[in-house]
Amino acid sequence: MRRGDLARSTPFRLALTFGALFLGAFVLTGVVVYQLIKLDMYRRHDDAVRQTFLSLAGTYEDDRTDFLDAVRVDMQATRHRNEVYLAIGDDGSKLAGNVPLVDVPNGWSTLPAASLGLRSDFEYRVFAGPVRDTRLVVGESYRDIENLEDLTLGSLAWTSILVLILSVAGGALIATRAERRFQAVRETMDRVAHGDLAARIPLHGKGDDIALLSQDINLALGRLQSNVEGMRQVSTDIAHDLKTPLNRLGISLEEARRKLARGQPVEDEIDAADAEVQQINGTFDALLRITQIESGARRVRFGPVDVKEVLEAVAELFSGALEDAGMSIETTLPVGPCTMEGDRQLLMQLYSNLVENVLRHCPKGTHVHLSARVTDNEITSRVEDNGPGIPSDEHENVFRRLYRLERSRTSPGTGLGLSLVRAIADIHEAHLILEDANPGLSVKVTFPRV
Ligand SMILES: Nc1ncnc2c1ncn2[C@@H]1O[C@H](COP(=O)(O)OP(=O)(O)O)[C@@H](O)[C@H]1O
Ligand SMILES: [Mg+2]
């Protein structure tokens, strides 16, 4: 990862933001705790000074010497002049003490060392008051508190720096890891952009958001790949399929030209050319229809449709033609209606295509059976014949656009009938399946009833 990339990485920015927030909270807490401890320490410091004053004052019962001795004993115990003692007689003379005679007002005062005649960087907290016929001044420097303050502030600063370093380092670590996985996504998309539709993002099954996103992208890429391959296939098939009728059209025109030159009638050639043009036209019409249905635009026209009524209408529509071809048709339908949401016109087309296939691809004497069954959740319909059927390894292929079985190459049709059936079933969210009727073909279409 380049350095500029790190600053732009979302995980790194998040880690930094959280680091900054954490640092802010940490410093705020530190300052509050520090202030509270400081207040308490000043209070305890005052208590200690007052305590010393009171205990010394307590030693002055009758004898001033006892009192002064006590002051001297305390005085000797102090080092570095951390504590100050001064006993002043009623004539204003120094009776005992470790500081020069200075003027200190009664009560509490906070004094710089210099005003006590001392050399020190620290201030002193001093309490002065009368003890019988003397005045006693007791004080203690803020040295311990200030040392502790320095220590606390120092450790707060160091800890903050540590937190900052940890959050930047942690953020960089997280960002690098995430970046590596995003990099894999980018590389894959780059390969896709350069035409490699089979490229997929490697999945490191962790189930986190990046893994889920990668899965979704892979799924979309799979769809894209099969769509593009489907389109490629269809374009090739169309080109291939149109070659034959166009060739035949060319031959008819050539033949007509030759006959014209010889002064012979050309009606047959014109008829043949017309038939080829119709065939080509039919192919394009059906292709356009399938595309239009697949776009789902017709779904807005959905309304209640009775499948039973549709099947009856189709049977009625084809009965004449089937009879002429030496075939027969029969229906087995439920007593009540089979209503669902759909497009009646498209459903008519679906069943018409299936019955038309029997008419086209089955021999004389074939019997067609239309049936329907209805439950609360679905409607199952079947178009069944006892003709030659379709081998089961071709069951998927016959749904491909322009695909026809080898034996049907010469029979009329475009190879788009079943593609249209599938497109119509799909927009009705129906389940479409070909089955062997032994002998014959059974097409089962199951519609959900919402
Ligand atoms: N009922 C059927 N019995 C036997 N073969 C069939 C039947 N229906 C369809 N087929 C086969 O499936 C192929 C594809 O059908 P279809 O897509 O409707 O195209 P078309 O009918 O234009 O040939 C047909 O060419 C035919 O070989
Ligand atoms: Mg057909």
CA distance 93 to 236: 122
CA distance 233 to 399: 13
Give the angle subtended at the CA of 346 by the CAs of 306 and 275, to the nearest 5°: 140
Residue 209's pLDDT is: 85
pLDDT tens digit string along 331-381?
999 999 999 999 999 999 999 999 999 999 999 999 999 999 999 999 999
CA distance 14 to 27: 20
Please report, as a single letter, which amino acid is at residue 14. L
Q: For ligand 1, is residue 362 a contact (CB within 6 Å)? A: yes
* CA-CA-CA-CA torsion sign (55, 60, 66, 67): positive
Q: For ligand 1, is residue 409 a contact (CB within 6 Å)? A: no
Tokens of 436: 């062997």
Q: For ligand 1, is residue 128 a contact (CB within 6 Å)? A: no
Q: Which ligand is nearest to the CA of 418?
A: 1
Give residues whose Cβ lies within 5 Å of ion ligand 2.
357, 413, 417
Model confidence at 23, in pLDDT bands (50, 70, 90)? confident
Contact status, residue 157 vs residue 13, Cβ threshold 8 Å = no
Looking at per-residue pLDDT, the higher value among 171 and 122 belongs to: 122
Q: Which ligand is nearest to the CA of 355?
A: 1
Residue 2's pLDDT is: 55
What is the CA(425)–ligand 1 centre distance, in A?
A: 17
What is the CA(409)–ligand 2 centre distance, in A?
A: 12
* Ligand 1 atom at minimum distance from 416 CA: 17
Tokens of 435: 């089955």
CB-count exposure of residue 430 (10 Å: 0-12, 13-18, 19+):
buried
What is the CA(286)–ligand 2 centre distance, in A?
A: 11
Residue 4's pLDDT is: 58
Q: For ligand 1, is residue 279 a contact (CB within 6 Å)? A: no
Determine if residue 338 is left, alpha or beta; phi over 0 gives left, psi from -120 to 50 gives alpha, anything else beta. beta
Q: For ligand 1, is residue 414 a contact (CB within 6 Å)? A: yes
Residue 205's pLDDT is: 66
Q: How many helices (H) and strands (E) does the chain have?
A: 9, 12
Domains of the chain: 1-196 (3.30.450), 210-294 (1.10.287), 300-448 (3.30.565.10)
Tokens of 95: 């009776």
| Average of per-residue pLDDT across 158-167 | 88
pLDDT tens digit string along 167-206?
888 888 888 888 888 889 999 999 999 999 999 999 876 7
Residue 321 has pLDDT above 90, yes or no: yes
Tokens of 326: 């030496």
CA distance 95 to 108: 21
Please report, as a single letter, which amino acid is at residue 113. A
* CA-CA-CA-CA torsion sign (231, 232, 233, 237): positive
Residue 94's pLDDT is: 93
CA distance 390 to 439: 10
What is the CA(100)–ligand 1 centre distance, in A?
A: 124
Name the β-bridge partners of 94: 88
What is the CA(231)–ligand 1 centre distance, in A?
A: 22
Contact status, residue 308 vs residue 344, Cβ threshold 8 Å = no
Model confidence at 53, in pLDDT bands (50, 70, 90)? very high
Looking at per-residue pLDDT, the higher value among 265 and 175 belongs to: 265
Pairing of strands 328-332, 367-374: parallel
Q: For ligand 1, is residue 387 a contact (CB within 6 Å)? A: yes
Q: For ligand 1, is residue 290 a contact (CB within 6 Å)? A: no
Residue 26 has pLDDT above 90, yes or no: no
The b/e string for 20-46 (b: 16+ C-beta within 10 A; e otherwise) is eeebeeeeeebeeeeeeeeeeeeeebe
Residue 5 has pLDDT above 80, yes or no: no
Residue 272's pLDDT is: 92
Residues near 20 by Cβ (< 8 Å), separated by ≥ 6? 167
Contact status, residue 342 vs residue 308, Cβ threshold 8 Å = no
| Average of per-residue pLDDT across 120-140 | 93
**Which of 383, 395, 404 most suits a substitution to test ligand 1, by most atoms within 8 Å of the C-beta?**
404
Please report, as a single letter, which amino acid is at residue 440. G
Contact status, residue 16 vs residue 171, Cβ threshold 8 Å = yes
CA distance 225 to 198: 7
Taking only Cα atoms into account, the Rg of the chain, rounded to an integer number of angstroms, comes to 51
Q: Which ligand is nearest to the CA of 327?
A: 1
Q: What is the dihedral of CA 56, 57, 62, 67, to 10 degrees?
A: 30
CA distance 71 to 89: 14
Residues belonging to the chain: 450
pLDDT tens digit string along 75-108?
998 877 789 999 999 899 999 999 999 889 999 9
Using DSSP's 3-state secondary structure scheme, residue 9 falls into coil
Q: For ligand 1, is residue 358 a contact (CB within 6 Å)? A: yes
Q: 3-state secondary structure string, 377-404?
A: CEEEEEEEECCCCCCHHHCCHHHCCCCC
CA distance 297 to 433: 24
Q: Which ligand is nearest to the CA of 356?
A: 2
* CA-CA-CA-CA torsion sign (414, 416, 421, 427): negative
**Which of 285, 353, 361 most suits a substitution to test ligand 1, by most atoms within 8 Å of the C-beta?**
361
Residues near 287 by Cβ (< 8 Å), separated by ≥ 6? 238, 401, 416
Q: What is the mean pLDDT of the chain?
A: 91
Please report, as a single letter, which amino acid is at residue 170. G
What is the CA(405)–ligand 1 centre distance, in A?
A: 7
Q: For ligand 1, is residue 390 a contact (CB within 6 Å)? A: yes
Q: Which residue, 322, 333, 390, 323, is CA-closest to 356?
A: 322
